[in-house]
Amino acid sequence: MNMFKNPFKHLSAAIAGFFLAVTILLSTPNPILACDISILPAVSSGASGSEISLTVNVALTHRVCTVPISQTDITLTNMTLVSQTDWNKINNSLYQATLIVKLGNSGTGTITVVRECTKGGDTASVKITILSASADVSAALPSNTIPAVTDPPDENLIPTILPADIINTQTNTPAEQELEWMEAIYQALSEPYMLAYIALMSAGTISFLKGWRKNRPILMAVSLFYLGFFVGGCPCAIGSLQSVLLHTGEMKIYMVQYILLFIPVITTLFWGRIFCGWVCPMGALQNFIYRKETGIKINEKLNHYLGFIKYIFLFALIAAVLITGTTVFAHIDPFKALFNFDFNWFTGIFLGLVLTGSIFISGFWCRYLCPLGAFLGLLSKLSYFELKFGTSCKHCGICQKTYCEYGVINGSGKELKLDNSECVRCGECLKRCPKNAVKLSHNRVILISSIPANPVSQEIISKEEFKPDLLKSPSFGSEP
């Protein structure tokens, strides 16, 4: 059992796990996509210099899409955009735009349509055969081909001002180039799901600091049913982490993703992983299906060892994102599949394993697999406040045996320790300790056990320590 004291001695196993995770991320088939993009006609040809009409359809497969339709990225190769209609909303989930493009040199032209988002997005591409202008192509021209000499485009078409052979409609839109910071923030915060996300984070943070732990299941239920099943699992902080990696320096365009990641990062740096314990819809689902009476208590050493898997997964995910240039986790996210009822064989099996584990092991996904949990766990080592045992602790171990279901309190007797990097700030030990001994303290305070026992030093420590609900006054959600 000495292997559990220092898992990094088995470096070869960690490296093998890392590359296995990268391989899975890069090779998972049939990704679940947030959009279904099609380009019509799927097969087309025309003479060099002629103009053809193409129709782009974007079907949003999730109930709520966080990426505006205007951020659909269209790229042309060996063709020039002549005009494009506005995006027309055909129904609640289908948008359509018509393009007229001028064919370039003989050979092949390509139109590629891309939508990137934390849910996976989609990509569609069609190749157009471009024939020589001097060739007799009248029989080969499809019905969508427009003669080289044409009447002026219909007035509802918007002519492009960019004559380049490759046109990127997302990055070259003047309105987006001139987007101001306050306008970008306003647009991001105007989304209802963002307001709900911020409200839940605010309520969760205040409830934790005030000791209102009865509010936790209420907030988790709202998060699960609104952010999870209603919105479709987005906002997703895991997807936002990937988007920030891919779009560093493009903060104004991807403001939503930056805010989604910024909020849990800030709260973690101050008070710990409040997002994980109070707001995350994935954590909420696990909390509700876990049954304590049939739960399995994981051995302390084994729990510590298994906890390293999520860190391997995190670094593998970062590597895969940087290698592929895509939000690869969207392809295997079991919770996104559940929240949107959109499965492939891999996510179906993955979800089944995760939910089965969560029934018997509290926070199975959070403790052993979640890459965001690993990321916030690393940040929590820098938290301004951390949980500690105060001078009134009698080392009874009841917090470890009864209250903490995440296995973050280890040791026994006077060697009892609390692992703040794994703690999700559920508040059970903080509020229910019979001796009121668990404290939220400034992490730079010298350990109590190392301070000489004299009235002056004890007075200093008591001022440094912060205990939620200091006034001890009856209030909503508080408990005796």
Domain spanning 382-466: CATH 3.20.20.10: no
**pLDDT > 90? residue 94:** no
- With a CB cutoff of 8 Å and minimum separation 6, the contacts of 206 are 212
Domain layout of the chain by residue ranges: 2-29+181-379, 35-177, 382-466
In the block, residue with structure tokens 């391989």:
23
Q: Which tokens sit at 181?
A: 């910071």
Most confident of 8-22, 106-120, 276-290, 394-408: 276-290
**Per-residue pLDDT reduced to its tens digit, 429-473:** 888 888 888 888 876 543 333 233 333 333 333 444 444 443 333
**pLDDT > 60? residue 112:** yes
Identify the weakest region by mean pLDDT among 15-19, 214-218, 305-309.
15-19
What is the H or E stretch that residue 165 is in?
Answer: none
Instruction: Report the pLDDT averaged over residues 271-299.
Output: 90
**pLDDT > 50? residue 50:** yes
Identify the weakest region by mean pLDDT among 73-82, 156-165, 270-279, 290-299.
156-165
Q: Closest Cα to residue 207, out of 309, 452, 199?
A: 199
What CATH number is given for 35-177 in this structure? 2.60.40.10
Confidence of residue 474 (pLDDT cuts 50, 70, 90): very low
On whether the CB atoms of residues 11 and 100 are closer than 8 A, the answer is: no
On whether the CB atoms of residues 242 and 328 are closer than 8 A, the answer is: yes
Q: What is the DSSP string of 244-288?
A: HHHSTT-TTTTHHHHHHHHHHHHHHHHHS-HIIIII-HHHHHHHH
Instruction: Report the pLDDT averaged over residues 318-336.
Output: 86
* Separation CA 74–CA 415 (nearest Å): 61
Please tell me which residue, 252 or 30, carries the higher pLDDT value.
252
